[in-house]
Amino acid sequence: MRGRDEDTGEFLSPSRSAQRRAALDVLALGERLVALTPAQLGNLPIPEQLLTPIRETQRIPSHGARKRQLAFLAKQMRQLDAEALDAIRDAMSTDSETARRETAVMHRAEALREALLGIDGDAALTELLARYPHADRQKLRQLVRNCREEQTKNKPPRAYRELYRLLREMLAQET
169 and 118 share one domain: yes
**Can you tell me the mean pLDDT for 74-103?**
84
Q: What is the CATH number of the domain that holds 114?
A: 1.10.60.30
Q: What is the CATH number of the domain that holds 65?
A: 1.10.60
When pLDDT is cut at 50, 70 and 90, the band that residue 63 belongs to is very high
136 and 71 share one domain: no
**Contact by Cβ (8 Å): 141, 147:** no
61 and 125 share one domain: no
Secondary structure element (H or E) that encloses residue 33, with its range: helix 16-34
Number of Cα atoms under 13 Å in the Cβ half of residue 89: 12
Q: Is residue 2 part of a domain?
A: no
**Looking at the predicted structure, is the pLDDT value of residue 1 above 70?**
no
105 and 169 share one domain: yes
pLDDT in tens, 15-58: 889 889 999 999 999 999 999 888 888 888 899 999 999 999 99
Euclidean distance between CA atoms 30 and 26, whole angstroms: 6
Phi, psi (deg, nearest 5) at residue 11: -75, 145
**Can you tell me the mean pLDDT for 53-81?**
94
116 and 75 share one domain: no
Cα–Cα–Cα angle for 79, 74, 67, nearest 5°? 155
What pLDDT was estimated at residue 91?
83
What pLDDT was estimated at residue 139?
93
Q: Is residue 4 part of a domain?
A: no
Euclidean distance between CA atoms 85 and 87, whole angstroms: 5
**Can you tell me the mean pLDDT for 147-166?**
93
Q: Is residue 89 part of a domain?
A: no
Q: Is residue 103 part of a domain?
A: yes
What pLDDT was estimated at residue 4?
74
**Can you tell me the mean pLDDT for 158-164?**
94
Range of the domain at 35: 16-80
What pLDDT was estimated at residue 2?
63
Q: Which residues of 34-45 are buried (b: 16+ CB within 10 A; e: fewer)?
A: bebeeeebeebe
**Contact by Cβ (8 Å): 50, 57:** no
> Whole-number mean pLDDT of the chain?
88
> How many domains does the chain fold into?
2
58 and 108 share one domain: no
Q: Is residue 156 part of a domain?
A: yes
